[in-house]
């Protein structure tokens, strides 16, 4: 019998993979915080797939909304008005901070960031864009150029005009300093680079409020407010990439809400529909929106504001509201953080733990004094990290490993028992790392 894995091996190109090394476990179902394969093995989704299933898998209210919309209208071109698109845009404006008021819908986070570049350049009349060396903004050509991790160089050259700065990575400070006696040099460095590059040439600074797939770097509390001040000083647009941090992941509606910062532009995806139907968005403030009242918006997608996707988005936002999931994320996040700190005390292989809400990472090291990573930062590790991942899989817990990090981002709907199951498995499997020290 030909399986889905057989057909994929023959006909599908997998993203971010050497094709001959792919594994083809077929997933046939999911519900809540769990998913299962064709062999009946069940897994706790402790990374929300790719940090997107915030409310969990197969939420019945969202599934029903998709079915109802499919019966009414599967697709209409974006130049016609559509009820689910209009309703979702209004809900986004209600929950985003400050005067973020108008939305361009895209297919995902990468396209959102690409279009945010276009909007920022058109509105300011400036060319350069600043991003950070350890950021990730997506895989399209514009977004991957913004990105600072090792997935960028293999596809260079990208788009012109991108300048990079260092991250607020306190555990491995690029400036050799320690918070709080550091003078917040990671932020002042941004200002210095802007001066070198000529502020009048810089359209925008793209920032993940909490750096996501490159390490979950929770910034010092003064960092984002200071970045907001610097951008305002020079007339540079602040673009918050909330693809991972948005929709309750950090215990607030959006990551910037943790520091009461209002960006000029916000990009989002993932938690807006859980990935049930692909959707992304660029949200702009009133001034930027007003500019395009009498200037052409040179952005367009056939599937912008797709009715099925927007219907899923409307239902998703209602689930966040009706089930108090933002508050639940904050509450569970405190328990999550406390247990991570306990794990750090118990395992000498843990160099650092970082979390905010239900968004966390464990950084593993060979030596706490030297902070030498347990696995290479910029390449694959066939050794101990693979063993830890295999151990977790054997215990029925899916955790996303990368380099010397374990990314822990369970659905924000997770309960106490499920959180304990996941963290207990991590605790047990980290013994493998401790044994090689």
Per DSSP, the three-state class of 100 is: strand
Residue 382 confidence (pLDDT): 64
Which residues of 230-356 form beta strands (DSSP E)?
237-241, 265-268, 280-285, 350-356
User: What per-residue confidence (pLDDT) applies to 96?
Assistant: 98
- Work out the percent of the chain whose per-residue pLDDT is above 90: 93
- Confidence at 364, pLDDT banded by 50, 70, 90: very high
Question: What confidence score (pLDDT) does residue 381 get?
Answer: 63
What contacts 92, CB < 8 A, 6 or more positions away?
100, 103, 268, 281, 283, 317
Q: Quick: pLDDT tens for 282-331.
A: 999 999 999 999 999 999 999 999 999 999 999 999 999 999 999 999 99
Which domains does the chain show, CATH number per domain? 4-55+324-435 (3.90.1150.10), 61-322 (3.40.640.10)
pLDDT at 16 over 70: yes
- pLDDT level of residue 408 (50, 70, 90 thresholds): very high
Sequence length of the chain is: 437
For residue range 320-348, what is the model confidence (pLDDT) as tens digits?
999 999 999 999 999 999 999 999 999 99
Q: 């091996």: which residue's tokens?
A: 9
**pLDDT, tens digit (0-9, with 9 covering 90-100), for 84-121:** 999 999 999 999 999 999 999 999 999 999 999 999 99
Among candidates 108, 126, 119, which has minimal Cα distance to 263?
119
What is the rounded average pLDDT of the residues 66-91?
Answer: 98
Q: Specify the pLDDT at position 157.
A: 92
Q: Provide the pLDDT for residue 379.
A: 65
pLDDT at position 166 over 80: yes
Average pLDDT value over all residues in the chain: 96
- State which H helix or E strand residue 144 sits in: helix 141-146
Average pLDDT over residues 54-62: 98
- Distance between CA atoms of residues 202 and 200, nearest Å: 6
Rounded (10°) CA dihedral 189, 190, 194, 195:
-30
What pLDDT does 380 receive?
61
Q: What is the mean pLDDT of residues 228-233?
A: 98
What SS3 class is residue 95?
Answer: helix
Q: Rounded to two decimals, what is the model's pTM?
A: 0.96
What number is the average pLDDT over the span 27-54? 97
Contact residues for 5 (Cβ-Cβ < 8 A; gap 6+): 24, 25, 26
Residue 410, pLDDT score: 98
Distances (CA, A) of 169 to 126, 172, 200, 211, 386: 29, 6, 28, 9, 25
Whole-number Å distance between alpha carbons of 161 and 201: 10
Q: How far is CA 71 from CA 65, 67, 86, in A?
A: 10, 6, 18
Query: How far is 246 from 118, CA to CA, in rounded Å?
Result: 22
């Amino acid at each position: 019998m030909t399986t889905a894995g057989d057909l994929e091996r023959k006909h599908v190109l997998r993203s971010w993979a050497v094709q001959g090394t792919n594994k083809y476990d077929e997933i046939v179902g999911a519900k809540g915080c769990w998913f299962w394969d064709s062999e009946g093995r069940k897994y706790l989704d402790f990374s929300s797939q790719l940090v997107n299933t915030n409310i969990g898998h197969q939420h019945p209210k969202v599934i029903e909304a998709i079915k109802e919309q499919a019966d009414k209208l599967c697709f209409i071109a974006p130049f016609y008005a559509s009820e689910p698109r209009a309703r979702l845009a209004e809900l986004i404006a209600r929950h985003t901070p400050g005067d973020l008021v108008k939305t361009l819908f895209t297919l995902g986070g990468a396209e959102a960031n690409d279009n945010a570049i276009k909007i920022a350049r058109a509105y300011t009349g400036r060319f350069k864009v600043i991003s950070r060396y350890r950021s990730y903004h997506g895989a399209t050509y514009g977004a991957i150029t913004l990105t600072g991790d090792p997935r960028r160089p293999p596809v260079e050259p990208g788009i012109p005009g991108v300048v990079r700065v260092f991250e607020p990575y306190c555990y491995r400070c690029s400036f050799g300093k320690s918070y709080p006696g550091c003078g917040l040099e990671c932020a002042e460095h941004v200002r210095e680079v802007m001066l070198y590059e000529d502020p009048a040439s810089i359209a925008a600074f793209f920032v993940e409020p909490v750096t996501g797939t490159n390490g979950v770097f929770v910034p010092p509390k003064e960092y984002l407010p200071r970045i907001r001040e610097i951008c305002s000083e020079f007339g540079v647009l602040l673009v918050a990439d909330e693809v991972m941090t948005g929709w309750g992941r950090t215990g607030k509606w959006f990551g910037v809400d943790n520091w009461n910062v209002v960006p000029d532009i916000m990009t989002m995806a993932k938690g807006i529909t859980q990935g049930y139907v692909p959707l992304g968005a660029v949200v702009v403030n009133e001034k930027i929106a007003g500019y395009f009242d009498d200037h052409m918006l040179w952005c367009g997608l056939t599937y912008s504001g797709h009715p099925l996707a927007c219907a899923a988005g409307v239902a998703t936002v209602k689930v966040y509201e009706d089930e108090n999931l933002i508050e639940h994320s904050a509450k569970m996040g405190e328990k999550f953080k406390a247990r991570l700190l306990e794990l750090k005390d118990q395992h000498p292989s843990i160099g650092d733990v970082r979390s905010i809400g239900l968004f966390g990472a464990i950084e593993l090291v060979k030596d706490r004094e030297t902070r030498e990573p347990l696995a290479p930062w910029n390449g694959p590790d066939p050794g101990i990290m693979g063993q830890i991942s295999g151990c977790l899989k054997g215990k029925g817990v899916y955790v996303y490993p990368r380099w010397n990090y374990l990314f822990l981002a369970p659905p924000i709907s997770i309960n106490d028992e499920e959180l304990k199951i996941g963290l207990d498995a991590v605790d047990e499997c980290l013994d493998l790392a401790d044994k090689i020290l």
